[in-house]
Chains A and B, each alone.
Chain A
Amino acid sequence: MNIARNIIAFSEDSIGCGNCWLNNFAANENCSSEFLNKILLNKEEKNYSKGAYLIKSGVLVSGVYCIQKGTVKVFKKGIKNKDFILWVARKGDIIGLNSFINDEVYSFSASALEETSACFIPSSDLKILLSKKPVAFVKLMGNVCDKLNFVEQRITSISKKTIKEQFAEILITISRNNSESDKNLVINYSVKDLASFVGTTKNYLYKILVEFTDQKILSVNNRKFAISNMNALSLIAAGENKLPK
C-alpha cells in the first residue's frame, strides 16, 4: 500500500515540482526529495479550467495549493457580493497558508484566471512536515510576511491615492511579476478583474483605460493590454502628475 503510494508520489514529482515552494525549501534545507515524498504522500496535482474555483470561502480548511502553472486570483466577497481581489498567485506561489495556520475555514476564495494546474497538499501532510522540520516555520513566516507587506502597502495606497494612481500601481505590480516570460509586458486580465483588483467599477476603469491608451501608455490588442510607456506609468503611480511643475 505504502509502496504503491510512494510510486504515485514519485510519478507526480516527475510532472514537475521544479518551481514549487516546497522543493526550494528542500534544496535549501538539505532534505532530499525522497524525504519530501515520504511525508507528502497525499499530494495530488489538479487541473483547473478558467474560472474554476480552487478554494471557496467559508469551507473548512483541507490543505494548501501550490501553483504549478497559470494564474489564480485570490479574492473576498465584499458588500453587495462584489468581488475584491487581494492578490494574484502565480507559478511557485502557495495559496491557503494563513487559513491553514489558523486552522479554521478559508477566509477567501480563489479561482483560476487561466488554465491552471496546482498541487494540492493536505493539511495533515503539511503538519507532519512541520513537526519533522520546524525550520519550515521560518519559511512559512517569510511567505506570510510578504503577503502582509503587500496588503499593508495596498491599504496605504487605497486611502491616499486616486483610482488612477492605484490602477497604474497595480499594472506595474502585475507586469513586474510577469516580465520573466513576457517581454512586451502583456497583461491578460479582463476589465472586470482589474476593476475588482483596484476596487472600482468596470465603467470607471474602462474610462481610465481609454485615457491611458490615448496617452499611448497602454496598447490594447485582442483583450490583452501591453504597457508601452513604463516611465509615464510609474510617474502616474507615484502621483507625480499632481505636483506643480
Chain B
Amino acid sequence: MEKRNINKINVPHCSQCDSFNSSMFCSLNNVEELNLSDNKVHNLYKKGQIIFFEGQQSRNLFCIFSGKVKIFKLGDDGKEQIVRFAKKGDVIGYRALLGGEKYFASASVMEDAMICSLPKFTIDELLNCNSKFAIQTIKLLSKDLRIAEQIILNMAQKPVRERIAEALIMLKQYYGIDEITETINTTLTREEIANIAGTSTETCIRILSEFNTDHIIKIIGKSIKITDVHKLLKIANVTE
C-alpha cells in the first residue's frame, strides 16, 4: 500500500524541491533551473536495488528526492565496504560524471528511494557557464575527500570497538533520531554496520550486544536507540 503511494508521488520542479536551497544546485538561476527540471527523469528504486555498479560508464547524475542510499566498494573477496551514505538532497555519482570516467563505487538503495537522474550534458553546460556551481561542486568533492581521509586514518589506527561506536555516532548525526521511538532514523542490518566499521559481522554483533548489556545503546529489533551518548562518545574517542 505504502509503496503504491510512493509511485504516485510526482516529483516537483527543482525550484519547488525542499532540498533545492541546501543542495549543490542552490546557485542556479531561473533559466538554468528550468532547463534542469525539463531534462530530469525520476524513478522509484526499491530497497536493495542497485542504482549503479562499479565499473559502469557514467551517463547521469543522481539526485535523491527521498529515501536512503549507501555507496560501497567491493573488496577482492566480494565483500562490500561502505564508503559513504546519501540521503534526501544529496547528489551521487558526480565524480565519475565530472571526470567522464567509470563509476568508482556502487550505489544501492537501503530504503525505497525516489531518485531524479540528470543527464550529463545539462551538468556539463552548468559547469562551463556557472562558476558558482563549479565552486559548489569542488567544495563537495573536497569535503568528501576529507571525510574519506579521516576514515582510513581511523581504520588503520583505531580498534574495532571504537570504530563501531563511531559508526553509530555518525549514523545518528547523519540520519537524525526518530521523534517517537527515539531510535536512529535508519534501519541497517548488522552486516551493514560491520561494513561501515570494516569488520566481520560476527564481531559487530558481539560488540553491539556488549554495548546493549552496558546500557549504552538499546537494541529494539533492527533499530538502535542510543541511551548514553557521553559514554559512546568516550568509547569512540572522538575529539570533535
Contact = CB atoms under 8 A, between A and B. Distances in A.
B43 interface: no
B158 interface: yes
B79 interface: yes
Interface of B: 73-77, 79, 81, 83, 95, 98-99, 101, 104-105, 127-128, 131, 134-135, 137-139, 141-146, 148-158, 195, 198-199, 237
Interface residues of A, number: 42
Contact of B98 (A145, A156, A198, A199): A145
A78 B135 contact: no
A138 B152 contact: no
Q: Top 8 nearest A-B pairs by Cβ distance?
A: A199-B156, A159-B198, A160-B75, A98-B142, A137-B134, A78-B157, A134-B131, A151-B148
B65 to A, nearest CB: 25
Interface string A199-218: 11000000000000000000
Interface of A: 76, 78-79, 82, 84, 86, 97-99, 101-102, 107-108, 131, 134-135, 137-138, 140-142, 144-145, 147-149, 151-161, 198-200, 238-239
B148 A148 contact: yes
A155 to B, nearest CB: 5
Given A152-B148, A156-B81, A101 B142 contact: yes
Contacts of A137: 127, 131, 134-135, 137-138
A51 B198 CA distance: 33
B contact patch SS: helix
Contacts of B199: 159
A151 B145 contact: yes
B141 A144 contact: yes
B157 A151 contact: no
B148 A76 contact: no
Contacts of A107: 146, 149
A155 B155 contact: yes
Given A134-B131, A141-B138, A160-B75, A147 B156 contact: no
Most buried by A among B75, B76, B105, B127: B76
B134 A102 contact: no
Contact of B152 (A79, A141, A154): A154
B132 to A, nearest CB: 10
Contacts of B77: 160, 239
B141 A148 contact: yes
B142 A158 contact: no
B198 A97 contact: no
Given A78-B156, A145-B99, A155-B83, A134 B141 contact: no
Given A144-B141, A159-B198, A151 B81 contact: no
A208 B79 CA distance: 25
A126 to B, nearest CB: 12
B61 to A, nearest CB: 14
